[in-house]
Amino acid sequence: MDKDKKRRNLAKAAWFASVACSLALCVEDAFAADLKLGETIATKGTTNGAAACVSCHGLQGEGNAAAGFPRLAGLSSAYLSAQMAAFSTGERQSPTMQPFAKLLSLTERTAVAAYFSKMAVPAGIRTSDDTSITPAEPGPWLATRGRWDQGLPACVQCHGPGGIGVSPTFPPLAGQPANYISNQLQGWKKGARPPGPLALMPVIASKLTDADISAVAAYYAAPASGDAKRTGDMK
Ligand code: HEC
Ligand code: HEC
């Protein structure tokens, strides 16, 4: 892709994300998944050796900040399924997740994705952006303003206010562990994660320095500040 085309794609996707919800396109992808099967896999694992997902991702799917295990609760089932498919083929590299994803059939992956997508968004996470942000604060500034002279849109333009996520394509950043967010951005730089829709994230990650990555990851990992209200589920 040439540079202009990449830039146009970024702008297009940012526009799409900002209008998708208002056009009521934020619908849950409607395929029948076996939630009971999903619950069994999540809480007990599978007979062929996949560990119970909640042992790492938390009983409420909230993740584990200290260990860097991402939250799964309230992410779209389409996104979760696509990530597990990518782990199972090795396109998305993770020594921890690849073996589990390989042990699950497509039906099991679909069921467990649906199960976590229906879980409530954890309380206390960021759902809106801080109101007084200055260029001296690189994390919040990148998150809410971007760096348009480099063709870098603000994270909010695709990931929604406070990084709440815009379903089904743009996963939430709010409430993800800082080291998890950093690893994903570094993963795109290294090619350890597939490019995803329109190859948007590799372009964005390539424009972020290590310092930018730490700052923006810390912003989204931080709990909601006093003035931020919970607006509820982005499923
Ligand atoms: C031993 C701990 C562990 C267990 C058990 C585990 N995971 Fe994970 N999971 C991880 C880690 C670590 C990552 C982050 C991998 C990376 O950095 O890309 C992850 C990432 C994921 C992601 C990607 C999330 C995102 O936002 O892109 C999905 C989906 C996922 N796991 C689903 C599952 C499911 C379903 C199960 C149960 C079958 C499961 N995991 C069991 C540790 C675990
Ligand atoms: C033009 C749209 C767009 C913009 C702007 C954008 N993203 Fe993304 N982002 C995406 C898409 C699409 C995905 C899903 C990728 C996939 O499916 O593999 C994603 C996924 C992610 C993920 C992975 C989340 C997870 O659960 O694993 C992280 C981390 C991320 N983006 C961080 C950022 C940061 C930080 C910014 C701002 C500097 C940003 N993004 C700006 C489109 C965008």
pLDDT digits (tens), the chain, 235 positions: 556 666 666 666 655 554 444 443 444 444 567 999 999 999 999 999 999 999 999 999 999 999 999 999 999 999 999 999 999 999 999 999 999 999 999 999 999 999 999 999 999 999 999 889 999 999 999 999 999 999 999 999 999 999 999 999 999 999 999 999 999 999 999 999 999 999 999 999 999 999 999 999 999 999 887 444 333 333 3
Opening angle at CA 133, ends 130 and 138, nearest 5 = 110
Count of Cβ atoms closer than 10 Å to residue 196 Cβ? 18
> For residue 192, which atom of ligand 1 is closest to its CA?
18
Ligand 2 centre distance from Cα of residue 109 (Å): 22
Give the sign of the dihedral formed by CA 152, CA 8, CA 169, CA 188: negative
User: For 166, phi and psi rounded to 5 degrees?
Assistant: -125, 105
Q: Which residues contact 73 (CB under 8 A, 6 or more apart)?
A: 58, 60, 61, 62, 63, 116, 119, 120, 121, 122
**Ligand 1 lined by 217 (C-beta under 6 Å):** no
**Ligand 1 lined by 87 (C-beta under 6 Å):** no
H/E run at residue 156: helix 156-159
DSSP reduced 3-state for 27: coil
Which ligand is located closest to the Cα atom of residue 180? Answer: 1
Q: Which domains does the chain have, with CATH numbers?
A: 3-25+124-221 (1.10.760.10), 35-117 (1.10.760.10)
User: For 125, phi and psi rounded to 5 degrees?
Assistant: -90, 165
- Say what the pLDDT of residue 130 is: 85
Best probe residue, ligand 1, of 97, 107, 169 (max atoms within 8 Å of C-beta): 97
Q: Which residues pair with 152 in a beta bridge?
A: 147
Q: Which two tokens stand for residue 52?
A: 């119970």
Best probe residue, ligand 2, of 144, 204, 206, 209 (max atoms within 8 Å of C-beta): 204
Which ligand is located closest to the Cα atom of residue 206? Answer: 2
Per-residue DSSP letter, 166: B
- Say what the pLDDT of residue 228 is: 40
Which ligand is located closest to the Cα atom of residue 63? Answer: 1
> For residue 208, which atom of ligand 2 is closest to its CA?
38
Which ligand is located closest to the Cα atom of residue 178? Answer: 2
Instruction: List all residues whose CB is within 6 A of at least one atom of ligand 2.
Output: 10, 13-14, 70, 79, 82, 142, 153, 155, 157-159, 169-171, 173, 176, 181, 184-185, 196-197, 200-201, 204, 216
Contacts 24+ apart (CB under 8 A), 151-155: 151/3, 151/6, 151/7, 151/10, 151/207, 152/204, 152/207, 152/208, 153/10, 153/11, 153/14, 153/204, 155/216, 155/220
